[in-house]
A and B are shown apart, each in its own frame.
Chain A
Amino acid sequence: MRSFLLKRLPSGLVVLLAASFAVFLMLRLIPGDPATTLAGPDASPAAIAAIRARLGLDEPLAAQYLHWLGQVLTGDLGPSYAIGGQVSGLIGDGIAATAQLTLAALLLVVVLAVPVALLGASAGRRPWAGALRALTTGALAVPPFVTGVLLVGVFAVSLRLLPAGGYASLGDAPDLAVQYLALPALCLALPSAAILARYLQDGLERALAEDYVRTATALGVSRRRILWRHALPNALPSAVTVLGLQVGQLVAGAVVVERIFAWPGLGQLVEQGVQRRDYPVVQDLLLLVVAGYVTVQLLTDLAYSWLDPRVRAL
């Protein structure tokens, strides 16, 4: 196993190095630079030159790149140019906020999808089965930026039940955090909940059409018991796979939802970083994403090698 890891590790490091170079270069190719953004629209060229010197942007690109790599390798990511504070702190806070939102949305996906699927599967040909289908189609079709505005309009502006936007940490103020989380998590969860409900309902319907269900029905087992004790356990594995795939969708969708609800997660951080040309923040975040993918890939390879000894020989 160790030798397999040693064989795979260099390729992962090469990918990371190549990605770091690509990220660094890509940012420099975007028009506009941090000094002009920081200096403001009425700044003089002298002010911009002074800011460029302070940030080290007047050094050759190679020196800037090596300086950044040094920071990454030592774990000291340094200060942000424009947003303020240390980059590691900003990324840490962003991860915590996005994780809070994504996990809450994931929970809501399950809470919403399972009852809808069970209701749909037990509806048979009743009229409200169609209504349920329409409901899931609607939740799937309407994009989050529309759902978000609608949710704010109804629950924040008209009913005044929940805040329109903002953030509180679950650790600091759990009661407030739940209120702030409710609408963005619901907005983020709805499309994924609709997908999961569809998959689960199909799975349940397939299970209910099996011979063992017919036998159980003939033996007088109640419909509810068949659904919960026999069909659901059989339909769940494929639904769990779908749920796993939806996690990626939730993280991606969080970027849009964070903006609508002023949620200070990673999406907002990337947007702010790009808009203000805050090179350290964007570089470190993108490299972190690549590192995440490389790690997952490495772990997957390791798992394969553990499960299948033939892979180790490759």
Chain B
Amino acid sequence: MGAQIDFTPALLFAQSANVLVQRLVFNTLTRYDDQLRPQPELASSWEVAPDGLSVRLKLREDVTFHSGRRFTADDVVFAVKNLQNPVRSAQLRSTALTVTDFRRNGDFDLTLVLAHPVSNLFDLFEFMIIADPASVEDAVAGTRLIGTGPFTFTDRKPGSSLSFARNEKYWNPGRPYLDGVEIKVIPQAETLLSSLKTGQTHLSYAVRGKDVATLRSDRRFRITQYDTGSGAFYIGANLAYPEVQDRRVRQAIAWAIDRDRLVEQALGGYATVSAVPWPKSSPAYREQDAAHYRHDPAKARELLKEAGVGQLSLPLAHSAEAGSAAVAQVLQYDLKQVGIDVQLQPVDSPTMQKQLIAQSMPALWTLSHGFAQLHPATLAVSAYPFNEAKNTSRFSSPAYTDVVQRAWNRADSDSPAAKALYQQVTDVLLEEQFIIDLAIAGLVEVAGERARGATLNKFGYLNLDDAYLAG
């Protein structure tokens, strides 16, 4: 299969742009189905205490690591502690930190004790890969990956390829079907496309939107869009700048953008227009919220007038990659129509990340965020742009903090009371617009005519347990 970005070993325990390796070599405790209901994987069953302060896990007893050692409850204890370590940079660290104690009831029975109830515990179980503790330092150095997954890691040529062989002792009977997997790193978009067309690679999740559009009518390819919510495009506003401190200005920007045109012209049609971060599978999703801000330049001008703003000139930072430049240009045009003159500032990825975290973005920026595909509280406590405690926009409000904490600190995640809290989070986001959501693009799978059975989990981890090459 073809990937555009090489594996970054140091990010193995964090969600990164390249998460193809995780579920090939490792397993997670549970995995979500399409309705966000947890299904067994290494945990065969579980029981959350009525007060939400503990969860008892029964683990599979027939699992061995690629090293031959048996998987036990101690490995789960290590996995949680590993994510609690800030060096791992795991986005779900805040959830992992709620685990304050471990009660071992035998080799395959473990109770996790929590500091307070959390609504996104199973997000953690979907996210957390179980690695052999002895190999973790080697794993983050990229030299040795030991898990319990369907494939064993055999070779890595940095910048070129990753190779995996079938795990003959995999716990899932008869799986995997494939004898091995090779991930080829192909940085050039055109070459990646050519490798698919020539059958040199059978599968890719890195084809650009506009290239996917050219493959739509080609019968040799099957295109599947995953609701991983991995790429929700947004405009961020840095409230340190007086020009965007008035929420009416931010709302005007939200009304000014023609999201349909953005999706068609810049994203190749492979995204869903949305004014909220949640994809359709989220319990927080409501159609009327997604359509809250439509393209209405007159309303945008009216709001700007109300805010006492005539002509406005603002910088807009965007990633230097071609796809992001296309998004930024569409935004620039739309904002110009309502009297906001935008100067585009292409920034390379490391610089942008530093500015994001240091809260030093210019007045406006455009990027994509993840984590909305999970339980809604995860977004507001684990994704930095939305983090209620500290975020890139420098937005803070007691009301936002209160509603986020209440949504997170509860054991149930699907009850009417929980959904009412999610709605309150959405209402704050729609009103405040420190993050102006534009469109949600899931991962797009381009599969050659022979590739069958590949799936992704909610974090985009590639699952090839059932994959095979037809004919």
Q: Measuring CB to CB, which residues of chain A are less than 8 angstroms from any residue of chain B?
A: 31-33, 36-51, 54, 79-85, 90, 93, 97, 149, 152-153, 156-157, 160, 163-167, 259-264, 268-269, 271-272, 275-277
Closest to A271 in B: B187
5 closest Cβ pairs, A-B complex: A84-B142, A32-B350, A50-B86, A264-B160, A164-B194
List, sorted by A's number, 5 A–B pairs whose CB atoms are closer than 8 Å.
Answer: A41-B352, A85-B142, A85-B158, A262-B187, A275-B350
Q: How many A-B residue pairs have CB under 8 A?
A: 183
Q: Is the Cβ of A47 less than 8 Å from the Cβ of B93? A: yes
Centre residue among A37, A149, A157 by max chain B CB count within 10 A: A37
Q: Is the Cβ of A40 less than 8 Å from the Cβ of B86? A: no
- Cβ of B311 under 8 Å from chain A: no
> Given contacts A33-B354, A165-B188, A268-B159, could you give 16 more A-B pairs where the C-beta distance is less than 8 Å?
A31-B350, A36-B350, A42-B383, A43-B91, A44-B387, A51-B10, A80-B158, A85-B158, A152-B190, A157-B198, A165-B186, A167-B161, A260-B190, A260-B191, A269-B159, A277-B350
Min CB distance A313 to B, Å, is: 49
Q: How far is A6 from B97 in the complex, measured between Cα atoms in Å?
A: 62
Centre residue among B15, B186, B191, B195 by max chain A CB count within 10 A: B191
Q: How far is A85 from B8 in the complex, measured between Cα atoms in Å?
A: 11
> Chain B residues near A166 (CB, 8 Å)?
160-161, 184, 186, 195, 200
Interface string of B1-37 (1 = CB under 8 A from A): 0000011111100111000000000000000000000
> Chain B residues near A81 (CB, 8 Å)?
10
Q: How far is A224 from B8 in the complex, measured between Cα atoms in Å?
A: 59
- Cβ of B348 under 8 Å from chain A: yes
Q: Is the Cβ of B198 less than 8 Å from the Cβ of A163? A: yes
User: Size class of B's contact patch?
Assistant: 35 or more
Closest to A46 in B: B86
Known contacts A47-B87, A167-B161; is-contact A275 B349 (Cβ 8 Å): yes
Centre residue among A43, A80, A153 by max chain B CB count within 10 A: A43
Q: Is the Cβ of A40 less than 8 Å from the Cβ of B195? A: no
Q: Measuring CB to CB, which residues of chain B are less than 8 angstroms from any residue of chain A?
A: 6-11, 14-16, 85-91, 93, 141-143, 156-161, 184-188, 190-191, 194-195, 197-200, 348-354, 356-357, 367, 369-371, 382-385, 387, 390
Q: Is the Cβ of A31 less than 8 Å from the Cβ of B191? A: no
Residue from A40, A165, A272 within 8 A of B6 (CB atoms): A272
Min CB distance A154 to B, Å, is: 11
Q: Is the Cβ of A42 less than 8 Å from the Cβ of B15? A: yes
Q: Is the Cβ of B8 less than 8 Å from the Cβ of A84? A: yes
Closest to B159 in A: A264
Closest to B160 in A: A264
Min CB distance A132 to B, Å, is: 30
